[in-house]
Amino acid sequence: MSTVSEDAAREPVISLRGVTAELGSRRVLRGVDLAVRRGEVVALLGANGSGKSTAIRTIVGQVPVTGGEIEIFGTPRRRFRDWARVGYVPQRTTAAGGVPATVTEVVSSGRLSRARFGVLRRADRDAVRHALEQVGMADRARDSVEALSGGQHQRVLIARALASVPELLIMDEPMAGVDLASQEVLAATLREQVERGVSVLLVLHELGPLEPLIDRAVVLRDGCVLHDGPPPRAVGQHALPGHDHVHPHADHAEPTRTGLLS
């Protein structure tokens, strides 16, 4: 007989059933089933254009679904309002977005969902400072985000997601274009979150330094789930057998193809 806490642990914090979505006239998701259970770290993998970002964006409501069901913490997505429980890191954009803002201002925006009446109080400012410490950016708190490197930008976006102390993190390629030092900081940050019991769904091109944290991998191909199970084991430089993701920044864009991800 299972205990109450075991049942709670099995309850999905994200559930997609038969989800379809179209962009333009293209069917980008063609019946995706995906579940992330409490405390799980799930990597969403697949070749370029397989629908990973679209799947993530249907969950946070940026892409409308044309069929199927999405639940967040057991609530149908369209009725879900408790976004302070969810930290979202979009596919890398600059944190500045053309608007001059300091690091603190950007990270504070991630705390507004917890602030009463939209006013940041002392506890909120402490949470913002703590989030910056978690990603090793506390010393840059007053700097303009425009002055940061790509990896530092990414750390700030992750701090913004952590500022509401979420129970669920959804991240779209958190390591893309991030220098090695920042990658290590981000891997350590994520490890702390996982130790706290935070559930994580993240799009990755390669498991890389996050590999030890990943419980399960869901591989998409052409808008369908091709694999849902143990993560592919690391091989050589790229952490995926059949790694066939072409990086825009890769020096040699000639991947090995074994079929799993193509």
Residue ranges in contact with ligand ATP by CB under 6 A: 23-24, 26, 28, 46, 48-54
- Our CB check for ligand ATP shows the closer of 102 and 183 to be 183
For 13, counting Cβ atoms within 10 Å of its Cβ (0-12 exposed, 13-18 middle, 19+ buried), the class is buried
- Our CB check for ligand ATP shows the closer of 46 and 242 to be 46
The least distance separating ligand ATP from the CB of residue 97, rounded to whole angstroms, comes to 18
* Cα–Cα distance measured from residue 118 to residue 34, given in angstroms and rounded to the nearest whole number: 34
* Cα–Cα distance measured from residue 37 to residue 96, given in angstroms and rounded to the nearest whole number: 33
* Cα–Cα distance measured from residue 203 to residue 242, given in angstroms and rounded to the nearest whole number: 17
Assign 257 to helix, strand or coil: coil
Yes or no: say if 131 and 163 are a contact pair by the CB < 8 Å rule. yes
The least distance separating ligand ATP from the CB of residue 254, rounded to whole angstroms, comes to 17
- Our CB check for ligand ATP shows the closer of 21 and 127 to be 21
Yes or no: say if 240 and 227 are a contact pair by the CB < 8 Å rule. no
The least distance separating ligand ATP from the CB of residue 51, rounded to whole angstroms, comes to 4
The least distance separating ligand ATP from the CB of residue 62, rounded to whole angstroms, comes to 10
- Our CB check for ligand ATP shows the closer of 6 and 254 to be 254
